């Protein structure tokens, strides 16, 4: 069995180095990125796609799913709540503290 992981295309928050934006959709560049990914995976033998229900991931999935593979949208793949870091610029975040909270979530 092979598992392929594709990250969603770019959003406006991504392009501005902003954390969060869970309800945000792809921007024009993100759509182009998803279209490029679609062409790169076109010849892979994919049986199932499991996707986060976030808007940007569903949009990416719809673009890359050229062969109409069955899709499961799984809430467990939704990004975690970043709390006080939501809509903050990455340069203003204590990355060490942010990393520690990621580690704590993984262990829980």
* Among 21, 5, 3, 8, residue whose Cα is nearest residue 63: 8
79 is catalytic: yes
* Among 22, 25, 59, 66, residue whose Cα is nearest residue 44: 66
**Catalytic residue among 28, 40, 79, 86, which?**
79
Orientation angle between helical segments 28-41 and 55-64, nearest 10 degrees: 40
* Among 6, 100, 103, 101, residue whose Cα is nearest residue 57: 6
59 is catalytic: no
For residues 100 and 95, what is the distance between their CA atoms, to the nearest angstrom?
8
- Catalytic annotation, residues: 8, 79
């Amino acid at each position: 069995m092979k598992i392929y992981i594709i990250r969603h295309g770019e959003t406006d928050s991504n392009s501005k180095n902003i954390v969060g934006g869970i309800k945000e959709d792809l921007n024009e560049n993100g759509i182009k990125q998803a279209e490029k990914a679609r062409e790169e995976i076109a010849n892979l033998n994919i049986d199932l796609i499991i996707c986060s229900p976030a808007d940007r991931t569903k949009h990416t999935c719809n673009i890359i799913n050229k062969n109409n593979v069955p899709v499961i949208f799984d809430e467990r793949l939704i990004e975690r709540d970043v709390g006080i870091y939501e809509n903050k610029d990455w340069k203003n975040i204590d990355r060490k503290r942010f990393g520690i909270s990621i580690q704590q979530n993984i262990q829980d």
